[in-house]
Amino acid sequence: MAQYYSRRNLNFLLYEVFNATELTHYPYYNAHDRETFDMTIDAVTQIGDTIMFPHFRDLDRNQPELKNGKVTVHPKVGEYLKAMGDAGLIGTGFSFEDGGQQLPEIVNSILGFILMAANNGMMYTGLTSGAARLIASFASEELKQTYVEKMLGGKWQGTMALTEPQAGSSLSDITTSATPQADGSYRIKGQKVFISAGDHDQCENIIHLMLARIDGAPKGTKGISLFIVPKYRLDGTENDVTSTGIYHKLGQRGVPAMHLTMGDRDDCHGWLVGEPHRGLNYMFQMMNEARIGVGMTGVAIASAAYGASLQYAKERPQSRRLNEKSALDSPQIPIIQHPDVKRMLLLQKAIVEGSLSLLMETARCADIAHASEDPEEKEKYHLMLELLTPVAKTYPTEMGLVAVSNGLQVLGGYGFTEDFPLEQLYRDIRITPIYEGTTGIQSQDLLGRKMTMKGGKPAQYLFGEVAKTIAEAETHENLKPYAQKLKAELARLQEVTMALMPYAMQGDIERFLMDATLYMEMFGISTVAWQWLKQAVVAQRTIVTQNPDGEELAFYEGKIHTMKFFFHYEVPKTLGLAVRLKDNEVLTIATEKEVIL
């Protein structure tokens, strides 16, 4: 069985690079230690190994079906939900008070990584957790008591019902209506599309966290409220939520994406979460977690692809070394020994392990921002979280797609067939740069909001942390050249940022954000370069101080080698990006004479 994730790498990042056990010094996390972290990771891995990974292909080939208004999904989904609920693994990041385990997000997020690497077609529990967290955070005590326990127990499915046919990224155009009723509920009427896990037969109820407009609400995003809209009411009667369509998707086929209609019989009831007109505010407060989760899904799929292609490359004999092509009497060699194949494998490793490090860095910021009682420390890590979140969502998904493509390429023609998992992983990962905010939206958020907020304070904090890593690397002779490269990279990124800022100050937002996606690409490469240098510092220090041998020495040397690969193969791409971003030639903004495409 191919390894869908590396426990050794995970332990390295969790305990050696990020020292996750230090978080237990904060009172909020002091019930935990390495033993509880490892026990939870072991439990999730057991579910991944026994229930999820063996049925990865089966869920893809036996897709959800909508017949006579009922949605059926693979029966293994029910087994998975029960296993996760019984083990208390759906709400691991929730507080003890809300029925969770109060684990740090850096641990909680990697549980999602393991599950999605095993089988991203079973993304049901992540959706439930996100919906339940909205209820736990913002709903009345009565609603919390009614819904959260059964959702975290795996009995009730949760969804996030935002998108409408005319309102995708533009949520200000939502038209689903909510009419107040005498009993305190609201009559809901409208349509929602692309609702993942929006209906299925492997749970007792579906709980939609739905955005809608109360009658008479202000236009735009300021008039949007959040409601709990269950499939079945508490008395067991249907709530006039109809599954009117199911989307046939390119990938992630184990989870139904539904078209829902509410109020066909004018009998769909919803219950307000929090205050009227604050629905989008509530949603956005939960977006950091959701976007880290999507980033984790991207790197998880890439991790599974890397494991499969690495195994194939070790086992597949083909041709001879380039310097020995004419020696036909010599045996063929495993393709892992060919430089181009090794390049593709190293690229996958660099993307997967660099992305995972970035995501764990971001999750650690969330943990400190949440748990710290020091106002200055709290602000610092909150602002770093705000800045890193769009990058942590985008780089692992965009580059994860590149990694999976390279994994498929390693297999050659076999990668294009259903006999190997790469073609499915390639289909599965394609959605990740789209949902929870497309790459374009994330890029505009990074450059247009996060780099300018609070006078650039988030960037100052981040660059200060990068400078610390550079200083540490400079104490190791073999890492000095890479410390200098990262220092130059940081200066280049700051130069580009300063070149763009005048457009924002002049109010020319279209010009300012015209190439925001390219800015995101540059920022992502620079940030992951930082993560790789940080890993290399730990690896080099361990080699010097602990003198490891055998597989352990190979592991640490592999970290340093992959860091060098990233700096020599990926970092140079920012040179061209910088040239483009500073170029005054405007080619994508509308002019009087439109270019006919």
DSSP per-residue letters across 128-151: HHHHHHHHHHHS-HHHHHHHHHHH
Taking each helix axis from N to C terminus, what angle separates 480-505 and 457-473, rounded to the nearest 10 degrees?
170
Q: Which residues of 206-216 are buried (b: 16+ CB within 10 A; e: fewer)?
A: bbbbbbbbbee
CB-CB contact of 570 with 525 (8 Å): yes
What residues contact 106, with CB distance under 8 A and at least 6 apart? Answer: 14, 18, 20, 23, 360, 363, 364, 367
Return d(Cα 568, Cα 571) in angstroms, integer.
6
Return d(Cα 164, Cα 332) in angstroms, integer.
56
* Known active-site residue 436: yes
Residue 477 corresponds to which tokens in the numbers above? 């002779």
Q: What is the dihedral of CA 107, 113, 114, 115, to 10 degrees?
A: 110
The catalytic residue among 289, 361, 423, 436 is: 436
Return d(Cα 583, Cα 597) in angstroms, integer.
22
Return d(Cα 485, Cα 74) in angstroms, integer.
50
Residue 431 corresponds to which tokens in the numbers above? 């959605």
- Phi, psi angle pair for 252, to nearest 5°: 45, 50
Cα dist. 79→156, 202, 236, 256, 464 in Å? 14, 9, 23, 17, 47
Residue 34 corresponds to which tokens in the numbers above? 């390495």
Return d(Cα 164, Cα 175) in angstroms, integer.
8
Helix (H, G, I), strand (E, B), or coil: what is residue 281?
helix
- Phi, psi angle pair for 187, to nearest 5°: -85, 120
Return d(Cα 17, Cα 250) in angstroms, integer.
37
Give the helix/strand (H/E) hosting 190. strand 186-196
Taking each helix axis from N to C terminus, what angle separates 457-473 and 375-411, rounded to the nearest 10 degrees?
70
**CA atoms 99, 229, 64, 294: torsion sign:** negative
Return d(Cα 493, Cα 591) in angstroms, integer.
29
Helix (H, G, I), strand (E, B), or coil: what is residue 160?
strand
Give the helix/strand (H/E) hosting 284. helix 279-315
Query: In DSSP terms, which residues pair with 196 in a beta bridge?
Result: 257
Catalytic residues: 436
